[in-house]
Structure 1
């Protein structure tokens, strides 16, 4: 991030609502570069100016350790659950590192707070315009930061806490002073969504119909603890969203006029935000494609994506279910978005885009095994309504090496889709032989479609002509290492019958089963399914 967002702005917008305790003196002018979730078992990511969320950090010793670990990263602040276990050691660590410790109000979800902070810190990494979304995607929502500024301006004009919401009543931006609202407003901010029970009451009272049919502010009371004034945000005849203000009484004529004008300004922001979503996603996809193709443009693309500072690997995701194509495309798109959200919660510098029907993600990590565990965790969460699989590439020490990591991920993904239905995620090392067999099949097909006349070809031709199972008999014998009893049981025939078939298949094919080379050749051709 560019650093235009400063710590004072974050504390002004969130402090009165979520930050209830502080150790150390925050520097209001200190640039903030992002949000990191602290894991005591893992090395912190390199993100200068980050606000570090100390999930599960409670006692004084752990707080001190957290401050000391992130001091070398240039963190802007750390957040722990209030009340802060502040003793002399904690205060000394905060003072020595120059990092304030902020206490998060009890009951606030860490995931929700991370999403709120990322929205506030949404500054375009590519061109300087603010961008971001509640899920932490760094590209795709221009002017998100300006929406927060607009909400604060409206709050100052109308003397009440403000939210800007979309058509689905999801919170896009909010002002400071939310602690002056009520429990419903706090729940709305935490969940980034108006509570379902309040939505039902508003719909039953016809509030949305009145809001969207009239361009004047609507005064509502009796729905929640404190009255609200709302106005629709529209462009021509299209409703883009709404502005909601917690008030003490109906607005005066001058304040109604101010809110009406503010709604027009908000419409411009929302239109540019919507237009920028497509532009941002296309730009991100283009940069990721450039990075994964390697070559001279890879280092520059990696820098613009924020992926040049540490090792990373590529994840390749694709769906394998047999649903109708249209439904599969929609489901795959949702899974791609879910993967982006999941990975951004793990590391803020993850880049994700769908290229050629495959969703690729570049995950900063020093271990492909750790990346595989991340992929497994994601697949466990999404259920089995659609069946996606994820190939994991090798570790790339430099941006130029990500091309090889992508190739590894693609090879693993192909095996998962074509040969290993028992697996949902794998590194290339896990399925290397299967990958070689698939590639050998491609080579044989390109050279002429199949092997020349040989023992296995003759055996299959004989089975087709005489309706026998000699090829299946050979496969069973090889799979059981020549154990006639086990092989005959697998084929549900008497051992003597199986021995007769072995003798017969040798006569028909000319295959000498006593020769290791002949056995290997037969096994290879059976595996290739040629």
Structure 2
């Protein structure tokens, strides 16, 4: 593994903290890079990459840990990982503080092999280009079907690997040798509900997840058919249950079979962790590539190439969930908004991947951006139709809006398309209305008004001239001259319509309109004056 920084400490801890690692002493800045993993060897001291994590395998006593901390700090290490519970004596704390090294505890039950492989896979996730496939015990990392077949060969029985929801993640060959229930499980990739209910009633899952030994499931009679005996074992990483292994086999669980299942559990846990880390890494990497591509700059071209979009005509879309009307700032509301964002991203990714091959989607800050290939003008119209369909489909769960940028052929054009989509999205999220999908041509006026308002606010400018006089008069007298003028302009000078909009008699409205001209010192017969009044009122109202 290379010695350059691959990931930040904060990201590693966020991903692994609840499952495998805990900080027992010291503190590392969240943005500090992690450069590699070193396994402590008391006989042959290893080479320490800069900002490395040291795995203190076999180090248990304070007398052995204290000098290891000193040596790790001297060689550029940032943390030493030991098996929990850690005996934190004063000498150990002092050694850690003097060396500037944190102490981490590895959860009991988790293996050093699991930890080392997972850390290395996560540290390598930002590598550019393709790398040679990693293997775990001779099996390609994450290939659960190969693992299932290997376990099946050792047990001489058909095997499934399932998650905690009884969904089938992988299965071995020879499933036809099992019973009809197993065949139904394989076809549906899920344990049938009626069978799972019996397992719950018998307490099988309770026994399975509370024990680290194989659990025998006696045959079940269902639909006039008796199932074959099952032997299952939970798959764990530390205290976390990742899933389970199920073998359809008769006879007692011999010590050899039990040992095989326990060894298989460790291997499956390693592969499941690798799959999970790989999925998280892929999502983060894709988000980074999409971010580079839509923002332009020197790295955009490479990002487009890695996304498979280099040299293609594309359009940028921006999607977001509409903000809550009540503005709830509670922790629960924040969690619900985060869940809505994830659901929006997953739904948009699935929608575009199904109907627009080659599209790349990821969250950048609080916005889901999609880069969509568009071959011609007709394709641009199809992108708009796809966005409309997406918003309609997801509206029952999330009120979302989608902004569409113009088509672009190069890096600069893509960055401009993203900026345009962002401007359109702002209109859709800040101005209440029925429109949920828009291009710049649909909302250009509203976008300009918002930008004028921002410009005015940035200069610290407030209402002046006729508008300042009308606002001051309304404030002092309780009048409605500003609203009267706005209603008259909105109705193109149609007094009866404006009067109806403000619930006034036309004569009363005409009187107020005369007062507008007098107090504001404004000539309402002049076209330029009316335009200036409309513009200032719109900026103020927005």
Q: TM-score range by the shorter chain?
A: 0.5 to 0.7
Alignment equivalent of 1:454, drawn from 455, 462, 465: 465
Structure 2 residue aligned with 1:297: 299
Deviation at 1:523, TM superposition (A): 0.9
Instruction: Assess, with a 3 A threshold, how the Cα gap between structure 1 residues 187 and 365 changes in structure 2: closer, same or farther.
Output: farther
Alignment equivalent of 2:130, drawn from 127, 139, 144: 127
Alignment equivalent of 1:429, drawn from 441, 459, 464: 441
Superimposed CA distance per residue, residues 21-73 of structure 1 (whole angstroms, 9 cap, x where no aligned partner) = xxxxxxxxxxxxxxxxxxxxxxxxxxxxxxxxxxxxxxxxxxxxxxxxxxxxx
Q: TM-score, normalised by structure 1?
A: 0.68
Deviation at 1:467, TM superposition (A): 1.0
Superimposed CA distance per residue, residues 137-177 of structure 1 (whole angstroms, 9 cap, x where no aligned partner) = xxxxx967511221233344445543322223233233345
Structure 2 residue aligned with 1:506: 517
SS of the equivalent of 2:406 reads: coil
Structure 2 residue aligned with 1:398: 410
* 1:208 and 2:205 aligned: yes
* 1:147 and 2:144 aligned: yes
Alignment equivalent of 1:495, drawn from 499, 503, 506: 506
Structure 2 runs not aligned, ≥5 long: 1-126
Judge which range, 193-202 or 242-251, deviates more.
Answer: 242-251
Structure 2 residue aligned with 1:96: none
* 1:334 and 2:346 aligned: no
Deviation at 1:418, TM superposition (A): 0.9
**Contact 2:408-2:417 within 8 A present in 1 as well:** yes
Structure 2 residue aligned with 1:361: 370
Matches within 5 A, 1:80-479: 126-128=129-131, 146-176=143-173, 178=175, 184-185=181-182, 188-189=185-186, 191-220=188-217, 221-222=219-220, 226-227=227-228, 228-247=230-249, 254-308=256-310, 310-319=312-321, 320-321=323-324, 322-323=327-328, 324-366=333-375, 367-451=379-463, 453-479=464-490
Q: How many angstroms apart in 2 are the aligned matches of 1:180 and 1:313?
A: 52
Deviation at 1:215, TM superposition (A): 3.2
**Contact 1:157-1:258 within 8 A present in 2 as well:** yes
Deviation at 1:457, TM superposition (A): 2.0
Q: How many angstroms apart in 1 are the aligned matches of 2:306 and 2:404?
A: 23
Q: How many angstroms apart in 2 are the aligned matches of 1:399 and 1:153?
A: 48
Deviation at 1:423, TM superposition (A): 1.9
Q: Whose Rg is larger?
A: 2
Deviation at 1:435, TM superposition (A): 0.8
Q: How many angstroms apart in 2 are the aligned matches of 1:401 and 1:193?
A: 47
Deviation at 1:185, TM superposition (A): 4.2
Superimposed CA distance per residue, residues 328-354 of structure 1 (whole angstroms, 9 cap, x where no aligned partner) = 223222322232233233345332222
Structure 2 residue aligned with 1:525: 536
Structure 2 residue aligned with 1:484: 495
How many aligned positions are there? 396
Structure 1 runs not aligned, ≥5 long: 1-123, 132-141
Q: TM-score, normalised by structure 2?
A: 0.66
Q: How many angstroms apart in 1 are the aligned matches of 2:424 and 2:176?
A: 51
The root-mean-square deviation of aligned C-alpha atoms, in Å, is: 2.9
SS of the equivalent of 2:280 reads: helix
Instruction: Assess, with a 3 A threshold, how the Cα gap between structure 1 residues 182 and 297 changes in structure 2: closer, same or farther.
Output: farther
SS of the equivalent of 2:303 reads: helix
SS of the equivalent of 2:349 reads: helix
